[in-house]
Amino acid sequence: MLSFKQLLPTALGSTLLLSSSLLFLLACQNLPQQKLRSALPAQALQGFAQRSNAKNFPNVPVPPQNPLTQAKVELGFRLFFEPRLSANNQMSCATCHDPQRGFSNGEANAAGVTGQRGHRNVPTIYTTAWYKTQFWDGRAGSLEEQALGPIENPIEMNEKLENVVRKLGEVPYYRSKFQQTFGTTITPQGIAQALASFERALSQKPTPYDRYIDGDMSALTPSQERGMIIFGRQAHCATCHKGLQSTDNKFHNLGVGMNQPKPDLGRFEVTRLAEDTGAFRTPSLRNIALTGPYMHDGSLRSLEAVIEFYAQGGIPNPYLSNEMNPLNLSGEDKADLLAFLTALTAGDNLKEIASLPGVQLPGERLSPALLSLR
């Protein structure tokens, strides 16, 4: 197969190359945004250092009610790793959303403080900031709205918010940090705003694909370039995984789990619309190489398995998306597609956030992940 550069006459130069390659992949970029860059100081943004020209970088949307500030990111960082948020003081957000496992847990689903398991895969925190709705079925609107859910959820952290406020109030750091950040005592609303701010700050690191889009033609290998074309055309992945944030923020039935005796009905549970049966929100593919296993039930162990799943056209069922049809992909096409998916991965800026001057790590029960940051 021809490499992407060979597809266009060389005389056209890199400008046209860029604009034409992007148009079909990125046609639907339309983010209301506040530039994170202007809201955070230099140290928080070391992840940007390699990026000279960030015009195409998808800055995360920030709601006007919760402007991004360094103090909130610092506090949210600490709260994310804080086991006092759980009933037995042993489970933090990071227990399930583990930084060493792509902010997921490497398993098909997760057990909460009581040992009871949910039936859904732990989504990564890397990509949450790009979504218009939270959870696989989109039942929460914003990160702020989502953040307190797991604390009170009986099969997750199983703790009352009033207990959390009391326990955090015993720690001088939290009392002064809430005063400094919000000018108030410790409140559930402040906890939610700080956690959401940390989540927004986390994914601000350019992938090789972002750099390519910005004009660094050496950022992708020839195989990744071919994979990019397959992603946009033959395999039309970009129909749903749109733009640099690689999601249309819509819900589709791919048939995942529909062959089980009691399928998870997904979006239908929220809207009660027949057409939403078995439909789930299109996940962003940023940092996808780090966040397996895949799909809402964690049923696909590897990206190779995901590509095979799409090649076969998903799993037949009465509600299958019209976009799901068997794909005619050669072995080389599949390898190129896989190579392209890895080019969407950049890691995170957790270390940069951890080294902000105002960040204080929990004094006790330090997780191995946090220890390795120091």
Chain residues binding ligand HEC by CB under 6 A are: 85, 91, 93, 95-97, 110, 112, 118, 120, 122-123, 128, 131, 134-136, 143, 146-147, 150-151, 156-157, 195, 199, 235-237, 239-241, 252, 254, 256, 280, 282-283, 285, 288, 291, 294-296, 303, 306-307, 310, 321, 323-324, 337
When the beta carbons of 82 and 352 are compared against ligand HEC, the nearer one is 82
When the beta carbons of 310 and 319 are compared against ligand HEC, the nearer one is 310
- For residue 121, the minimal CB distance to ligand HEC (Å) is 6
Task: Look up tokens 């990744």; give the residue.
Answer: 224
When the beta carbons of 45 and 96 are compared against ligand HEC, the nearer one is 96
Question: Do the Cβ atoms of 345 and 289 come closer than 8 Å?
Answer: yes
- For residue 259, the minimal CB distance to ligand HEC (Å) is 12
- For residue 234, the minimal CB distance to ligand HEC (Å) is 9
When the beta carbons of 240 and 346 are compared against ligand HEC, the nearer one is 240
- For residue 239, the minimal CB distance to ligand HEC (Å) is 5
- For residue 257, the minimal CB distance to ligand HEC (Å) is 7
Q: 373 burial class (0-12, 13-18, 19+ CB within 10 angstroms)?
A: middle
- For residue 51, the minimal CB distance to ligand HEC (Å) is 24
b/e code 318-354 from CB counts within 10 Å (16+ = b): ebbbeebeebebeeebbbbbbbbbbbbbbbbbbebbb
If you count them, how many residues does the chain have? 374
Phi-psi region of 195 (alpha: psi -120 to 50; beta: other; left: phi over 0): alpha
When the beta carbons of 4 and 340 are compared against ligand HEC, the nearer one is 340
Task: Look up tokens 């964690």; give the residue.
Answer: 298
Question: Do the Cβ atoms of 129 and 73 come closer than 8 Å?
Answer: no
Neighbours of 288 (CB within 10 A): 23
When the beta carbons of 113 and 219 are compared against ligand HEC, the nearer one is 113
